Structure 1
Amino acid sequence: MAGVLDSVDQRTKLVGQNRLELLLFRLADDQIYGINVFKVREVLQCPKLTAIPQRNPVVRGIAHIRGGTISVMDMNLAMGNAPLDDIENCFVIISEYNMAVQGFLVKAVERIVNLNWGNIHPPPKGAGKGNYLTAVTEVDNRIVEIIDVEKILSEVSPLEETISDQILKEESVIQAASKELAVLIADDSSVARKQIKRCVEKVGVRTHLVADGRQALNHLRDLLDQGESISDHYIMLISDIEMPEMDGYTLTASIKEDPRMQDLHILLHTSLSGIFNEAMVKRVGADNFLAKFKPDSLANLVQQQVDRTLEGR
């Protein structure tokens, strides 16, 4: 796998064209799984792992890599299956989610494929609420399951969701609730949707949830087709970037190109890190960018938009 992730500049050009690259890997069986290359820092043969006391069972140990120490989680075990064996011959996918670096133990790593988000679909409804999938696609006539990594991380190491008292302004919360202000939330991770929903509702704002960019755009267009005004329904859109059917960049550009809804305030809220994303935010016309998951920062940005809306009414 040496050099497989070297062409970062070339890969970033795919973002904004509703495209992505998936790193394909296997766990204990022949099923193929995928993870967005943009989340991956490095892939390497499993190094020596050191057990730590009172660790979550999913964490097989810690490893010293590139001068740092990271936790290595058994992805198969995290999804409720048996732990991977013969880990010396397994691989570790080192990734960055929610401003933290961690390793995922997998059985084998295959290759990188270039896909269109339009060919990435939500999990089938029959998969059940307890599944660990955020999307599915097809490569070489085989189903590839894209894992909801945020769900795994929330179970192994839950994020702090408490909002500081000094952030919430009681008068603003009361007014927002009385005016029935609402926010549209688009995110393919069920865990992320619930986290954002809880945070936003503490600011006194109602929420409407959708699972991807295509659903969000169709919902907004349906309102317009019914003669409704977007500003009468939503004070802002909070959107993930990585989503099946349509990513957050394409969603934002589509909204901003439509005179009927180009004034909708858009916050791109993502676990993707880096300066590149901030540049993309400006290119597609989003109003703001926030890395997941900072409850105080998210609540503050929503409350600012509440205040702007109340001042304009």
Structure 2
Amino acid sequence: MNDLKKSEILTESGTNELEIIEFHLHKLLPDGGFKVCHYGINVAKVREVILVPSTSDYPNAQPHMVGVFSLRDILIPLVDLAGWLGIPTKDDLTHKVVIVTDFNKMINGFLIDSVRSIHRVSWEQVESPSQFLEAGEQDCVVAVVRREGHLIMVLDFEKIIADINPELSMDKYDVLQDKSVIIDDTMLAKREAKTILVVDDSAFIRKMIENTLRSAGYNIITAKDGGDALEMLLEYERLAVDEGASVNDFVSAIITDVEMPRMDGMHLVKRLRDTSAYSNMPIVMFSSLMSEDNRSKALQLGANDTITKPEIGRMVGMMDGYVLDD
């Protein structure tokens, strides 16, 4: 599974499908046995799967940091995923492997027990964890897939990385300290007249975007996935017709993630551009997987622009350009 060809496995334009790697952690039980815990990650976030490498200790490292290893001249932190999740597993590394991830311009290694297989599924088959419990900002599960009689928990690796290495976290950005963003009475009044819909399956990411835009003055509404967003936007369309108003009276622009349960961002854009009410509304795609290939697909489907999650400092200026009158 080395050298995964991401160009061949990224979300196809508007097909609402993805591929996930199912991997396992073996939870130790009091009787000495173990229970297999099933987890998942989008293939597009995975660089390769390797045997456990030799690591060097890193001074004053965060908890659950095993150490640092070198792979093709790149220094990569190795994280004990089971430890972070609070799952007791065997200490013996002989039969464990490492998933090397590559997204948000960061490469990380995650220690796991085994990789099962790659599943190609429709986002419609990917359920939001809120169907099982009310997800908060601290929840680390962004989606659930039912497969072969068990549940695969798709983890929020962005939140895990932010928790382990806070200095690299996107929520370190403070728009109030950004001298390139004008925040005065005039600009605040202009932004307060606009409402932006933020669509992301990660409660952690949604709150981060919301805080950034609210601090600049914008009104924010949120949706937890593409299906939730589409239902909300179609209701606004019905209300606009009933009240003789415009959907722009309810929402001025949309910022959406790409990979989400029930309906991915690409499919959401495709559906919205096929409706007259949203054919011209500003839509920006905000993702950790915004490769040139994905950017091209997003623009072809009708997105106005794309932005990667490490570039959150560009977001307020980008929204100003799309929704504020000169």
| TM-score higher than 0.5 | yes
TM-score (norm 2): 0.88
Query: Residue type matched to 1:193 in 2?
Result: R
1:304 aligns with 2:321: yes
The match for 1:145 among 146, 153, 160 is: 153
Shift of 1:128: 5.4
After superposition, the Cα gap between the structure-2 partners of 1:9 and 1:116, relative to the gap in structure 1 and judged at 3 Å, is: same
After superposition, the Cα gap between the structure-2 partners of 1:178 and 1:272, relative to the gap in structure 1 and judged at 3 Å, is: closer
Tell me if structure 2 keeps the 8 A contact 1:27–1:84: no
Aligned to 1:290: 307
Aligned to 1:248: 265
SS in 2 for 1:218: helix
After superposition, the Cα gap between the structure-2 partners of 1:199 and 1:131, relative to the gap in structure 1 and judged at 3 Å, is: closer
Q: After superposition, what is the alpha-carbon deviation per residue over 1:8-54, rounded to whole angstroms, capped at 9, x for unaligned?
A: 34323645310000101011231211100011111111111111110
Shift of 1:72: 0.9
Tell me if structure 2 keeps the 8 A contact 1:268–1:289: yes
**In structure 2, C-alpha distance between the alignment counterparts of 1:33 and 1:15, rounded to whole Å:** 26
**In structure 1, C-alpha distance between the alignment counterparts of 2:221 and 2:11, rounded to whole Å:** 31
After superposition, the Cα gap between the structure-2 partners of 1:144 and 1:282, relative to the gap in structure 1 and judged at 3 Å, is: same
Shift of 1:83: 6.0
Equivalences, count: 306
SS in 2 for 1:95: strand
**In structure 2, C-alpha distance between the alignment counterparts of 1:176 and 1:102, rounded to whole Å:** 41
Q: After superposition, what is the alpha-carbon deviation per residue over 1:34-89, rounded to whole angstroms, capped at 9, x for unaligned?
A: 10001111111111111111000121111100111100111111123336521243
**In structure 2, C-alpha distance between the alignment counterparts of 1:28 and 1:145, rounded to whole Å:** 14
Query: Residue type matched to 2:252 in 1?
Result: I
**In structure 2, C-alpha distance between the alignment counterparts of 1:301 and 1:76, rounded to whole Å:** 39
Aligned to 1:99: 105
SS in 1 for 2:276: coil
1:169 aligns with 2:175: no
Which range moved further: 118-127 or 279-288? 118-127
**In structure 2, C-alpha distance between the alignment counterparts of 1:247 and 1:134, rounded to whole Å:** 13
After superposition, the Cα gap between the structure-2 partners of 1:84 and 1:74, relative to the gap in structure 1 and judged at 3 Å, is: farther
TM-score (norm 1): 0.92
Shift of 1:259: 1.0
1:207 aligns with 2:220: yes
1:55 aligns with 2:61: yes
Aligned to 2:133: 126
Aligned to 2:78: 72
Aligned to 1:230: 247
1:265 aligns with 2:282: yes
**In structure 1, C-alpha distance between the alignment counterparts of 2:89 and 2:314, rounded to whole Å:** 37
The match for 1:41 among 27, 41, 47 is: 47
The match for 1:28 among 26, 31, 35 is: 26
Aligned to 1:16: 14
Which range moved further: 83-92 or 14-23? 83-92
Shift of 1:141: 2.1
Where has structure 1 moved over 4 Å in runs of 4 or more? none
Query: Residue type matched to 2:225 in 1?
Result: D
Which range moved further: 109-118 or 90-99? 90-99
Shift of 1:261: 1.3
Tell me if structure 1 keeps the 8 A contact 2:269–2:302: yes
Tell me if structure 2 keeps the 8 A contact 1:182–1:234: yes
Aligned to 1:218: 231
Tell me if structure 1 keeps the 8 A contact 2:76–2:107: yes
Tell me if structure 2 keeps the 8 A contact 1:41–1:94: yes
Query: Residue type matched to 2:78 in 1?
Result: V
